[in-house]
Homo-oligomer: A and B are copies of this chain.
Amino acid sequence: MINKLISKIQKTGAPIVVGLDPMMKFIPEHIQSKAFAELGETLEGAAEAIWQYNKEIVDNIYDIIPAVKPQIAMYEQFGIPGLMAFKKTVDYCKSKDLIVIGDIKRGDIGSTSEAYAVGHLGKVLVGSKAYYGFDEDFATVNPYLGSDGVKPFIKVCKEENKGLFILVKTSNPSSGEFQDRLIDGRPLYEIVGEQVARWGEEHMGDSYSYIGAVVGATYPEMGKVLRKVMPKSYILVPGYGAQGGKGADLVHFFNEDGLGAIVNSSRGIIAAYQQEKYAAFGAEHFGEASRAAVEDMREDIASALNNR
C-alpha cells in the first residue's frame, strides 16, 4: 500500500492528503436543509448531511489527489449514525481508487490494539467467517503504550499489505508539553522517531516503509531532524493551512528524492468556499472551490520544493 501511495503521489504530482473532517459549520446550508427535511434535525440527518457533503467533495477532487484522511472523531461525535457515515465515506473513497488513511489515533495494550487493528485494517473472525469492520488502508496510531501496543497493528498490516502513521510530533500548540521533554539530552519525539524507524524495518515496501510517522507542519525545524532520524518512513504532515503551516515550512519533511512526505489539509480544502479567496464559487459550488484549493496547494508545495 505504501508503494501504491507513492505511485499515486507521483502520478498526480500532489503529495497531498485531504482531511475529510466534516464539521457542521463547514457544510453548506443547502446540503443541511435537504438532509434535515428528509430525516429531521437528528443524528441520522446530520450523518446524511456529512455523507452528501463528503461525496460532492470527493467527486470533485478524486482524480487529482492520491489519498484522503477522514478523522473518525468528527463522525463518532454523531454516535452510530455518524460512524455509518464514516464507513460509507471510506467505502466510497476506495471505490474511487483513493487511498484511505483512517485518522483514528488508537493505541492500547496488546490484545486491545489487536482488536483495533483487526477492526480498522484487517478481518475479524465470526465463527467460520471473516469480515472487514471498517477497512481503511492506513491508520494513525498513538505510541504512548510502547512496542506491545504498536506491534499488533504491524502484524495486521503485514497480513493485509496495509500501513500505519505513528504519532511522533503532533501539530498542536501544547504538543511539546511531553513530546519535547529531554531524555538524555534529546527530546522524547526523537526517541519515538527512532523507534518508528526500527518498527518500520519490520515492514518495508520498495523504497519506503509501510510504517510512517506523523509530524506537524507547525514544527518545521523538528521535521528536519526527524526526516534524518527516520529516512525510510513516510511522514504524514498535518497542520498545513488552517493550523498555520506554509509551503516553505514543508520542504524539510521531504527527502532529496522529492518523496517521503504527504501533507494533509482539511478545512483549507473541504471548506475552501468559505475563504475569501474562493468565495466567488459560492456555497452551491463548494466542490469546485475544493478542487481549486487542491490545485493551489499542489502549486504551493511544488514551488517550495523547486526553490529549496
Contacts and interface: CB of A to CB of B under 8 A. Distances in A.
A118 to B, nearest CB: 5
A57 to B, nearest CB: 19
Contacts of A192: 178
Interface string A178-220: 1101111000100110010000000000000000000000000
A126 B178 contact: no
Interface stretch (A106-114, A228-236, A250-258, A276-284): A106-114
A43 B107 contact: no
Interface in A59-110: 71, 73-74, 76-80, 82-84, 87, 105-110
Contact of A24 (B125, B145, B146, B183): B125
Interface in A24-64: 24, 32, 36, 41-43, 45-46
Nearest to A44: B126
Interface residues of A, number: 74
B174 A126 contact: no
B119 A73 contact: yes
A115 B74 contact: yes
A129 interface: yes
A109 B133 CA distance: 25
